[in-house]
Structure 1
Amino acid sequence: MSNKAELDLAGVGWPVCLLECKRTLKSMQAGDILEIALQDPDALDELVTIVTRSPDRILAIDPEQGGYRIRIRKG
């Protein structure tokens, strides 16, 4: 059974938000879902690049008012 974690990084700039995402994913188990709220489009682009090069998988990227919500499954 997978767990779900949420990380609100709205207002947190690059690269701090990427470091927080990486730290949180590292603490999770395979199959767990991380849902991240962020505003910085550059951080979103970098996060997508990082995740696609890892065993983790992006499940969804949804635009929201003033930002984005991204769901990642830990690989």
Structure 2
Amino acid sequence: MQSFIKIAVFNFQYEYAVLQLLLEQEGIRFFFQNETALGVMPFYTNAIGGIILKVHPEDVDDANQILDNFETRKNLHCV
């Protein structure tokens, strides 16, 4: 897992729930670092550095494309 590349950081789990499903559907190899710790202690996000999305080096381009599409979809943003 050390070779995985950081491509995004989130503060709370709800921010990436849909993104996680999109990555899984495309077969992207990824994991969220600090996910469990911040699930238990959500207000420690700044101290821990947030929830970090890390992707396998071979899947970085595909994951970045999915992330870009996810961020530009206005209908998925939380109010």
Given the two structures, how large is their TM-score scaled by the length of structure 2?
0.41
Query: If you compute each CA radius of gyration, which structure gives the higher value, 1 or 2?
Result: 2
> Higher strand fraction: Structure 1 or Structure 2?
1
Q: Which has the higher helix share?
A: 2
Per chain length, whose mean CA-contact separation is higher, i.e. which structure has more relative contact order (CA < 8 Å, sep 6+)? 2
